[in-house]
Amino acid sequence: MSADGQGRNHWFDDEAGPVVRPYAMTRGRTTSEGQHRLDLIAVVVTEPDTGDPESDPTLSPEHVEIVGLCRGVPQSVAELAAELDLPIGVVRVLIGDLVHAELVHVTRPVPPAELPDESILRDVINGLRAL
């Protein structure tokens, strides 16, 4: 078998079709601006003034799909990775690209250390009841 035939068979799965390596989707990048802030439960929301992402030639089909998925309902990073069937690292890079392009924004959950103490909340409730 020729080298071309071996290479073609190596990148082709009879059941799935052509195989695209995850790093090809991110152009070889493993990080993007702001990616370090994207934990699994960070929520991705499409910007309200975002137009049709399909008309932007710089966006990949995966970028367009992320914008579409987040347009109707905000999605967590983990949900997007599951929906797209892509590794979480790839999804983080793609979301970072979209944040940089101002097509989506990310809201992060409040860290437990920054939440108010439960006893303070009980004291406030008891104080309000006393009024």
pTM attached to this predicted model? 0.65
**pLDDT per residue over 73-130, tens digit each?**
999 999 999 998 888 888 888 898 888 888 998 988 777 777 777 888 888 899 999 8
One-letter amino acid at 38 equals L
State the pLDDT at residue 1: 44
Q: Cβ atoms within 10 A of the Cβ of 29, count? A: 15
DSSP reduced 3-state for 46: strand
One-letter amino acid at 106 equals V
Q: Which residues contact 89 (CB under 8 A, 6 or more apart)?
A: 22, 30
